[in-house]
A and B are shown apart, each in its own frame.
Chain A
Amino acid sequence: MYFYLYDTFLKERKYAGSLTKIENRLIDLGINGKIEKMNILKSAKEVLENAIKDGAQTIVAVGNDKTFIDTLKIVSTHKNIALGFIPLVSGNIAKILGLPLKEAACDILSARIIAKIDLGKVNSHYFFGAVEIPAANSLTIECDHKYTVESTSPKVKISIRNLGPIFSQADLKNSDISNPSDGYLELVFESGKAGPIFKKRWSMPSVFPIKKATIKSPGEPVAVKIDNQTTLKTPLNVSVAAKTLKIIVGKERMF
């Protein structure tokens, strides 16, 4: 049974035509289901949990990248629920999952190619893309309870990637995307290089495949961004939740 969650911004008139085409296409493909249009008074968590209780096995987020991530955070806590996405606005997630925009995405949904992907976990928060620490020069990362990594450069960016920096980087290439089904996260250190002030220069990044990490800062807690949306402070425990999520993807996906 399919359940479609429409984001609040889709109330705008300019989306009405696209939504009608999408709904008609879903009927033609035989994958129509219950539609819930969100507004500020409704809680997405409550709506989705009720849908799953009522027997929905496929939840489809309809909207933009934020819609997808907000839906993912709730669906990831339930086993055996597949997550689909109909993007109405272009963004990195549609590109990565190999999904065309609007009604063309319905055909991908109908083809139902499912990828079981890993999620990252920071304390009790799941993340899809990456955990990023922009001001990371004093941090020590303990990996897999076996070794520690720290930077000797005064200017360093640290990220722990599941899929990659999909929310902080606009123009993604295939080399920016990590394998999200290998059971590992990637700890990446990017250190600054001496050069002209107006030109950002980074030396070759360090990459460590890990399953667990603890981020500690010796002095004041440091702010850490999760999927460029949530901010937490150190110390933090990061781990991989292997093959936790089932996502409907297209053939043109980037992993």
Chain B
Amino acid sequence: MFNKETSGRNSSQETETIIGPSVKVEGDFVGDGNVTVEGCVSGTLKTKQDLQVNEGATIKANIEAQNVVVAGNIKGNLKVSEKIELKSSAKVNGDIVTKIISIEGGAVFNGKCLSGEEASQPRGDRGNIKSNKTPLA
């Protein structure tokens, strides 16, 4: 999915972040490009693009991303605008809001999940359906 060349630049010149296995990040990480995590992150993690959480990664943070692939550990809530995939080694403790979810056999997920087109809309738009029925007298 992501180019593992060491420069951190993929072919389309987006800014790519790689958090390697022996690095610890604390605080509010906000990025514009793809993010790959193999180490530890605590706090919040937001990106406009895609997030890949590899096996061995530990994230204690709330996450926002466009697409997420999880093979590691996450403790926190996830807000994914498009698709989240939980691989067989994934362990997620937290709530997920996404358009599409895919869970492989063996993945551990403890939390609530809201999925589908409606789930990814802002809360105010959900349930605002006009009724043609007249109220009961």
Taking CB atoms and an 8 Å cut-off, the chain A residues in 156-188 that contact chain B are 156, 175-179, 182, 184, 186, 188
The docked-state distance in angstroms from the alpha carbon of A127 to that of B78 is: 39
Whether A204 lies near B43 (C-beta < 8 A) is no
Whether A209 lies near B20 (C-beta < 8 A) is no
Pick the interface stretch among B33-41, B68-76, B99-107, B119-127.
B33-41
Pick the interface stretch among B5-13, B83-91, B108-116, B128-136.
B5-13
Residues of A within 8 Å of B20, CB to CB, are 189, 191, 203-206
Whether A147 lies near B26 (C-beta < 8 A) is yes
Residues of B within 8 Å of A153, CB to CB, are 22
The docked-state distance in angstroms from the alpha carbon of A178 to that of B10 is: 11
Residues of A within 8 Å of B29, CB to CB, are 146-147
Whether B40 lies near A147 (C-beta < 8 A) is no
Whether A206 lies near B19 (C-beta < 8 A) is yes
> What distance in Å separates the Cβ of A250 from its nearest Cβ neighbour in chain B?
20
Whether B28 lies near A207 (C-beta < 8 A) is no
Whether B23 lies near A150 (C-beta < 8 A) is yes
A15 interfacial contact with B, CB 8 Å: no
**A-side interface residues, number (CB < 8 Å):** 27
Residues of B within 8 Å of A191, CB to CB, are 20-23
A16 interfacial contact with B, CB 8 Å: no
The docked-state distance in angstroms from the alpha carbon of A147 to that of B35 is: 15
Q: Which of A151, A177, A178 contacts B23 (CB 8 A)?
A: A151
Residues of B within 8 Å of A206, CB to CB, are 18-20, 23, 39
| B-contact bits for A63-92, CB 8 A (1 contact / 0 none) | 000000000000000000000000000000
Whether B26 lies near A151 (C-beta < 8 A) is no
The docked-state distance in angstroms from the alpha carbon of A177 to that of B7 is: 7
The docked-state distance in angstroms from the alpha carbon of A188 to that of B23 is: 11
Whether B8 lies near A189 (C-beta < 8 A) is no
Residues of A within 8 Å of B28, CB to CB, are 146-147
Residues of chain B touching chain A, judged by Cβ–Cβ distance below 8 Å, are 4-9, 13, 15-31, 33, 38-40, 43
Residues of chain A touching chain B, judged by Cβ–Cβ distance below 8 Å, are 146-153, 156, 175-179, 182, 184, 186, 188-189, 191, 203-209
Please provide the 10 A-B residue pairs with the shortest distance between their CB atoms, ordered closest to farther.
A147-B27, A207-B8, A206-B20, A153-B22, A209-B15, A191-B22, A206-B23, A207-B18, A146-B28, A175-B7
